[in-house]
Amino acid sequence: MSSTTGRIFKATTFGESHGGGLGVVVDGCPPRLPLSVEEIQRDLDRRRPGQSQLTTARTEQDKVEVLSGLFEGYTVGSPVAMLVRNLDARSQDYQHMREIYRPSHADFTTEAKYGIRNWQGGGRASARETIGRVAAGAVARKMLSVLANTEVLGWVSRVHNIQLDPFSDLNYSLKQVESSPTRCPDSAAAAEMGEAISEAKQAGDSLGGVVTCVARNVPAGLGEPVFDKLEADLAKATLSLPAAKGFEIGSGFGAVSLTGSQHNDEFVSDADGAIRTATNHSGGVQGGISNGETILLRVAFKPTATIASAQKSVTRQGEAATLEAKGRHDPCVVPRAVPLVEAMVCLVLADHWLRQRTVDVLEGLPPS
Amino acid sequence: MSSTTGRIFKATTFGESHGGGLGVVVDGCPPRLPLSVEEIQRDLDRRRPGQSQLTTARTEQDKVEVLSGLFEGYTVGSPVAMLVRNLDARSQDYQHMREIYRPSHADFTTEAKYGIRNWQGGGRASARETIGRVAAGAVARKMLSVLANTEVLGWVSRVHNIQLDPFSDLNYSLKQVESSPTRCPDSAAAAEMGEAISEAKQAGDSLGGVVTCVARNVPAGLGEPVFDKLEADLAKATLSLPAAKGFEIGSGFGAVSLTGSQHNDEFVSDADGAIRTATNHSGGVQGGISNGETILLRVAFKPTATIASAQKSVTRQGEAATLEAKGRHDPCVVPRAVPLVEAMVCLVLADHWLRQRTVDVLEGLPPS
Amino acid sequence: MSSTTGRIFKATTFGESHGGGLGVVVDGCPPRLPLSVEEIQRDLDRRRPGQSQLTTARTEQDKVEVLSGLFEGYTVGSPVAMLVRNLDARSQDYQHMREIYRPSHADFTTEAKYGIRNWQGGGRASARETIGRVAAGAVARKMLSVLANTEVLGWVSRVHNIQLDPFSDLNYSLKQVESSPTRCPDSAAAAEMGEAISEAKQAGDSLGGVVTCVARNVPAGLGEPVFDKLEADLAKATLSLPAAKGFEIGSGFGAVSLTGSQHNDEFVSDADGAIRTATNHSGGVQGGISNGETILLRVAFKPTATIASAQKSVTRQGEAATLEAKGRHDPCVVPRAVPLVEAMVCLVLADHWLRQRTVDVLEGLPPS
Amino acid sequence: MSSTTGRIFKATTFGESHGGGLGVVVDGCPPRLPLSVEEIQRDLDRRRPGQSQLTTARTEQDKVEVLSGLFEGYTVGSPVAMLVRNLDARSQDYQHMREIYRPSHADFTTEAKYGIRNWQGGGRASARETIGRVAAGAVARKMLSVLANTEVLGWVSRVHNIQLDPFSDLNYSLKQVESSPTRCPDSAAAAEMGEAISEAKQAGDSLGGVVTCVARNVPAGLGEPVFDKLEADLAKATLSLPAAKGFEIGSGFGAVSLTGSQHNDEFVSDADGAIRTATNHSGGVQGGISNGETILLRVAFKPTATIASAQKSVTRQGEAATLEAKGRHDPCVVPRAVPLVEAMVCLVLADHWLRQRTVDVLEGLPPS
């Protein structure tokens, strides 16, 4: 029950870091959506390893094959199945993991749950599982773009103790984000962050950070008032990413420092007569439902659990042991987490967009 | 699709702040669980209004009737349906809400979504909807207690700028929590918080805060490695509560200040030979799956949107208007949010406990 | 996981034959649907016992209370919760059931499943559970009527060996169906059926029969091509009714007597240029998707398991015993099964109607 | 929402008759199940075309590749993804389908639903979609065999007007079934059926038939009392197969000819003291829940819609046209439907077996 997300726009991922391949089946994407393999590959290229000095040395081309669901450049309503082969899998790199549990990894808990573990890599807990998410997210992104001109963009707003002013401009562009390997759109901060990551790598250590993500042009009315609040689904989606530890919508934890009169977003009419809010502490969502303002969220990622330095741990039998990691890894996952956060946000919004289609069916029959 | 939570242990809430009543249908609770109406009422009494000066003046007894699913003191496997009547609903208090949107409430978004709104109260966005959650959570709590001796306890760790030391003792008891109307287990901080809330009330303003929640004696192995990570489901469940703005598991946003070598939880064997972690930055969850340590999470709540002071807003027609709230409300929702957070955590854990039963079916057939 | 049906238009029933009451929570019904309690009561009146000599002597008024979801005559998008109280429950009538399993009832299997049983009546297996289905079906029926002018009508086409010519007119009206207590629209056959049922009752025995159901004005395009074929969901929905043993769509088992050239439904253009089929062996569904023709299905019901004559059985301890039923029961359930079949068909069609709304979102963007 | 079946043991199929390939993702299969590719291939070989003169001339090896989920001969709890490539797809054979709707096929309804159609083959409505079902069913079959020694076996009990005595022996073996290309275990009837099919083929026509299926050693207690009755889920699963028109459990439509006293299955204690039924009109299911007797069901399949003779139809523009099929097809699908019915029954039983694990959790705590 674990590998599917979404109620209507559904993505089911499969595959492990080692084995025949990874991928995803996207079910529920509307037919007649123009879609090309290149659009999917573009997002995959943003997540793949080996993009810069700051990421893991594992080099995977991660070329996607669309197995089904496309015909003459359009979706046809059948599942869009996508496959990426594992090519640079080196099982021998993981021999040390066979007996010793890696701290703050999923080795121990995977065995606690399943009673068995594919020790050749991280199994489903591997960051490679996110390939399927990004491929599915690319389809969702395209749908949102065509249907509502919605744009989802994330960036690195913090690495360790280097952070952007949270009150800074949120109008960054994809070009600004992609102009640095850290994916921080502020060039000065980006340089600092890159340096910090390099230093951590040098020291055999790792860093965490925060990804900020916005969704622009989200129509009002998406979300649900109770369990499936839009912010709740966004929280679940992003907290399901490897290494995520915290989530905020709008003002987030910062809301606690304000009083109600400071925090409330007053309604105003704009020049076109549209009802807007004067501030956006709500982060684009009120009572679980989008209000038409920009959706704003932040996700905290812990420092990469795999570090080059020796660590104390225990064997499967509980005996003390020292672990010296040999697998390839990122000293800071946050730059590569940006397309992952975007993909999850796209999947949530696409699902809720379609859900809303089942709500506004009596639009032409106003009660009064 | 909005009113049900859970895959196996499922709760479906119904009802609005005004109308015949509110309640919940709990489906999937195992049969043969000893359960009394009193156990359910006990949790409802903790959430009901009018418990102290710090909460809303709306006085509802909120007595629960169990309509089905219990027989001679035990669950029988059929849905446990529970109903609470609305008694002290005063529609006239809400006349001012008919035309003017309350800032940072769900009035505007409810209309954007549904094209119609029951303006007599907050509808499904009303805090009264949580009655069903608490009743369902009480059933889940009992199941967890009987099956695994699991204990779920929350408390107020922050109100506005008054907060407990995050490194303070987490071994609080229910008695300590309930000893103050603020539900802060530290009596000095509790007093300060109470005072701050009273001052805000006096000033016609409101405050937010943070609820910390722990789950003790959660067996290792609960959760899922991908979309339904335990922390992801906990995030969704708690972010679905009214006024919630942020979520942290374990170290949360604080993880970003640490390096990997500082943050990783080393494995150790305890005196009994059990594998434990030396620290608990993971908050009891690694790779989406519980590791047997105490689950630790925090939820941020914004200051109550309803305030007594006049606020600027617009009418449904977009004309500028001034809103002067007359409904009864809490100057700070956080004390009453404690049983809500607990209920949601109980629901998530009960569901994952039962899900794990479908995983460990071949326990007796070890592969090697 | 058992008490909910539907993906978007969802109904969750609760309650047993004995206890506080029975009902249903309908979630996912679109807002702004005009709906009155009377419309719901009308369908409930068709299913309630005591309508004629041919049905059980249990007299329940089965008056429904709508607890939530309606406001000033319209649905508002929140769950429509409905409650019917149990009034004429006589637990003492069931004392004989406490120890002896009734043949072809669910007593034995309920204990096999749950390890516990509310022996005061049939629990969830009681026909009274269908109250919730009929109430939910009435809401679905109204939605279908408003949105698509769809009409769902069932009738008794067979009781024991008395049957309507299967090639007879299918254009019966509700008035014709309701003109006889047997709900057979052919008055001669209805009289024969009534007599046969009376004779069976006299003999302490019971009879089964077949309900035929049509759905008129179902738009083409409802259903799904794989697991959720429209006929598959209709089969599941109707086979989930108590005492149902078989299901046919269109030609059904009779299809086997025909060759492909005889069975295929040729396409033709009608006077208005619309594409129709010359015959309707398909029963309105091709490849799992409605084709715009009348949907036609039949459901077989076994003879009532409760009979007045003494029967051999065993006790819970496996000792031979003789059972003499004392509970009130119908000598033939088929007349009262008609509104049940209709309700289930309405629920399936309403759900698929809303599902289709998530498919045709790019209607304005033809690929060529 | 269409391509997934199951609540816990879930199968998601993908792929069309033309394109990169078809397959399935099985999620929720318990870890530590011994499983080999050969076991999956064995079932696929029973469904693939070209097995005999009686089936389509399309020759596909249909070799399965397991992409993930297996490690050293065991499942590991992660999704078992399986892929079969399309090799012998001849798009040009389908040119005639581009403009003319094939009678009693899904061409017209697919366009009505999706507004677009991959006319190169039957798309998702193609019988090739069932490859994924059979592969998933093989995994389910293995699980059931290991956990409960459950055996699922189907056979052809009728082709056109040649049928087995319905009261005949139900103790057939797989060997008997597979001894004839018709999969009828009675050799005399099998010969007759084979002849009838050959004649129909010769005549450019096609035949339908009935598949009988039994499940032996199903533990009592599987199923649910309301919407997800075991027979309801079996009906849905088998009616979702291409060309299925009817379903019966146990006595089925034949139940209508009997009175209650004839039809009821009396309880008896067998030599070992186990509670059994003297007859099995119930077909192994009472009140939606298995009673430990052999599960018995029958599925009716219509004659193959594709026939070699010319047929009248219309074009997409509604103009009269004559269709002369050129695609390869089976003159009678029923022999190849046997492994399909078995696969669907295995999937339903596996899902309900796991669901029951979430019910019997308090076995050790009897209430009295």
- Residue D198 pLDDT class (50, 70, 90 cuts): very high
Neighbours of B364 (CB within 10 A): 7
- What whole-number distance in Å separates Cα of residue D178 and Cα of residue B312? 79
Q: Which of A4, A32, A227 to mutate to test the interface with C (most CBs of C within 10 A)?
A: A32
Q: What is the pLDDT of residue D366?
A: 45
Is B21 within 8 Å of C67 when comparing Cβ atoms? yes
- What whole-number distance in Å separates Cα of residue A244 and Cα of residue A266? 32
Look over chain C and give the mean of its residue pLDDT values, rounded to a whole number: 92
- Our CA-based measurement puts residue B315 at a distance from the nearest CA of chain C, in whole angstroms, of 20
For B189-206, the pLDDT digits (tens) are 999 999 999 999 999 999
**Of C4, D357, D359, nearest in space to B11 by CA:** C4
C280 CB within 8 Å of a chain D CB: no
Q: What is the pLDDT of residue C367?
A: 46
Lookup: tokens for B197: 């809330």
Q: Residue B242 half-sphere exposure, CB side, CA atoms within 13 Å?
A: 25
Say if residues C270 and C258 touch (Cβ distance below 8 Å).
Answer: no
**Of B24, B233, B8, nearest in space to B130 by CA:** B24
Lookup: tokens for C270: 């009608």
**Of D278, D276, D256, nearest in space to D265 by CA:** D278
Cα–Cα distance list, A350 to A26, A136, A239, B63, D261 (Å):
12, 11, 18, 41, 56
Mean pLDDT of D158-173: 89
Q: Which among C14, C76, C123 is the nearest to B81, CB-wise?
A: C14
Contacts of D33 in chain B (CB under 8 A): 362
- What whole-number distance in Å separates Cα of residue B139 and Cα of residue B132? 11
Please measure the distance between the N-terminal and C-terminal CA atoms of chain A and give it in whole angstroms.
44
Q: What is the pLDDT of residue D324?
A: 82
Neighbours of A202 (CB within 10 A): 10
Q: What is the pLDDT of residue D368?
A: 43
A78 CB within 8 Å of a chain D CB: yes
Backbone angles phi, psi at A220, to 5 degrees: -65, 145
**B218-257 burial code (b ≥16 CB/10 A, e <16):** bbbbbbbbbbbbbbbbbbbbbbbbbbbbbbbbbbbbbbbe
**Residue partners of B2: CB distance under 8 A and separation at least 6:** A224, A225, A226, A227, A228, C27, C28
Look over chain B and give the mean of its residue pLDDT values, rounded to a whole number: 92
Say if residues D137 and D130 touch (Cβ distance below 8 Å).
Answer: no
Say if residues D175 and D272 touch (Cβ distance below 8 Å).
Answer: no
Q: What is the pLDDT of residue A48?
A: 86
Q: What is the pLDDT of residue A134?
A: 98
Q: pLDDT higher for C336 or C19? A: C336
Q: Which among B125, B247, B273 is the nearest to A287, CB-wise?
A: B125
- Our CA-based measurement puts residue A34 at a distance from the nearest CA of chain D, in whole angstroms, of 12
A279 CB burial (10 A radius; 0-12, 13-18, 19+): middle
Q: What is the pLDDT of residue C366?
A: 45
Cα–Cα distance list, B96 to B100, B129, B309, B318, D82 (Å):
7, 22, 14, 15, 60
CA–chain centroid gap for C313, Å, is 30
Q: What is the pLDDT of residue C324?
A: 83
C254 CB within 8 Å of a chain A CB: no
- What whole-number distance in Å separates Cα of residue B244 and Cα of residue A249? 9
- Residue D367 pLDDT class (50, 70, 90 cuts): very low
Is A30 within 8 Å of C358 when comparing Cβ atoms? yes
CA–chain centroid gap for D98, Å, is 29
Mean pLDDT of D314-323: 92
- What whole-number distance in Å separates Cα of residue A130 and Cα of residue A140? 15
Residue spans of the domains in chain A: they are 4-356
- Region of poorest pLDDT, from B231-240, D39-48, D93-102: D93-102
Q: What is the pLDDT of residue A1?
A: 57
Lookup: tokens for D363: 């076995």
- What whole-number distance in Å separates Cα of residue B74 and Cα of residue D144? 31
**Residue partners of C261: CB distance under 8 A and separation at least 6:** D204, D205, D206, D307, D309, D311
Say if residues D273 and C261 touch (Cβ distance below 8 Å).
Answer: no
**Residue partners of B276: CB distance under 8 A and separation at least 6:** B267, B268, B269, B270, B292, B293
Say if residues A88 and A82 touch (Cβ distance below 8 Å).
Answer: no
- What whole-number distance in Å separates Cα of residue C347 and Cα of residue C356? 14
Contacts of D74 in chain B (CB under 8 A): 367
Cα–Cα distance list, B12 to B5, B22, B65, B129, C3 (Å):
7, 11, 16, 11, 11
Report whether pLDDT(C364) > 70.
Answer: no
Report whether pLDDT(B368) > 50.
Answer: no
Assign domain C4-358 to its CATH architecture. Answer: 4-Layer Sandwich (3.60)
For D263-317, the pLDDT digits (tens) are 999 999 998 989 999 999 999 999 999 999 999 999 999 999 999 899 999 999 9
Q: What is the pLDDT of residue B98?
A: 85
C329 CB within 8 Å of a chain D CB: no
Say if residues C285 and C231 touch (Cβ distance below 8 Å).
Answer: yes
**Of B37, B23, B20, nearest in space to B86 by CA:** B20
D228 CB within 8 Å of a chain B CB: no
| CATH fold for domain A4-356 | Chorismate synthase, AroC fold (3.60.150)
For C12-61, the pLDDT digits (tens) are 999 998 888 999 999 999 999 999 999 999 999 998 877 776 666 666 78
**Of C327, C316, C323, C265, nearest in space to C291 by CA:** C265
Q: Give just the sign of the alpha carbon dihedral B213, B219, B220, B221.
A: negative
Lookup: tokens for C127: 């026909």
**Residue partners of B54: CB distance under 8 A and separation at least 6:** B181, B182, B194, B197, B198, B201, B330, B331, B332, B335
Q: What is the pLDDT of residue D2?
A: 86
Q: pLDDT higher for A325 or C193? A: C193
Residue B85, beta-bridge partner list: B21
Q: E-strand spans in chain D?
A: 4-5, 10-14, 21-27, 64-68, 70-71, 74-75, 80-85, 151-159, 162-163, 209-216, 244-249, 267-269, 275-277, 285-286, 289-290, 295-301, 311-314, 320-323
Query: What region, left, alpha or beta, does residue A73 occupy, with left being phi > 0 and alpha being psi -120 to 50 degrees?
Result: left
Say if residues A295 and B113 touch (Cβ distance below 8 Å).
Answer: no
Lookup: tokens for D10: 């879930």
Chain C partners (3+ C-beta pairs within 8 A): A, B, D
Do the bridges between strand D289-290 and strand D209-216 make them parallel or antiparallel, or are there none, so unpaired? unpaired
For C58-88, the pLDDT digits (tens) are 667 899 999 999 999 999 999 999 999 998 7
Is D76 within 8 Å of A123 when comparing Cβ atoms? yes
CA–chain centroid gap for D243, Å, is 11
Share of chain B above pLDDT 70, in %: 93
Q: Which of A33, A71, A111, A133 to mutate to test the interface with D (most CBs of D within 10 A)?
A: A71
- What whole-number distance in Å separates Cα of residue C250 and Cα of residue D104? 12
For B91-149, the pLDDT digits (tens) are 666 777 788 999 999 999 999 999 998 888 788 888 899 999 999 999 999 999 999 99
- Residue C140 pLDDT class (50, 70, 90 cuts): very high
Q: Which among C104, C112, C204 is the nearest to D263, CB-wise?
A: C104
D364 CB within 8 Å of a chain C CB: no
- What whole-number distance in Å separates Cα of residue C131 and Cα of residue C242? 12
Say if residues C150 and C216 touch (Cβ distance below 8 Å).
Answer: yes
B4-361 belongs to which homologous superfamily?
Chorismate synthase AroC (3.60.150.10)
Residue B81, beta-bridge partner list: B25, B68
Q: E-strand spans in D2-159?
A: 4-5, 10-14, 21-27, 64-68, 70-71, 74-75, 80-85, 151-159
- Which chain B residue shows the shortest CA-CA distance from C77? B114
- Local confidence pLDDT in tens for the 368 residues of chain A: 589 999 999 999 999 988 889 999 999 999 999 999 999 999 999 988 777 766 666 667 899 999 999 999 999 999 999 999 998 766 666 777 788 999 999 999 999 999 998 888 788 888 899 999 999 999 999 999 999 999 999 999 999 999 998 767 789 999 999 999 999 999 999 999 999 999 999 999 999 999 999 999 999 999 999 999 999 999 999 999 999 999 999 999 999 999 999 999 999 999 898 999 999 999 999 999 999 999 999 999 999 999 989 999 999 999 999 998 666 678 999 999 999 999 999 999 999 999 999 999 997 554 44
Mean pLDDT of D190-215: 96
- Our CA-based measurement puts residue C30 at a distance from the nearest CA of chain A, in whole angstroms, of 5
**Residue partners of A116: CB distance under 8 A and separation at least 6:** B367, D31, D32, D71, D74, D76, D77
- What whole-number distance in Å separates Cα of residue B274 and Cα of residue A203? 32
DSSP string, D258-298: S-HHHH---EEE-TTS-EEESS-TTTTEETTEE-SSPEEEE
**Of C169, C192, C172, C171, nearest in space to C182 by CA:** C192
Q: What is the pLDDT of residue A293?
A: 97
CATH of D4-360, one of 3.60.150.10, 1.10.10.2520, 1.10.3720.10, 3.30.1490.20: 3.60.150.10
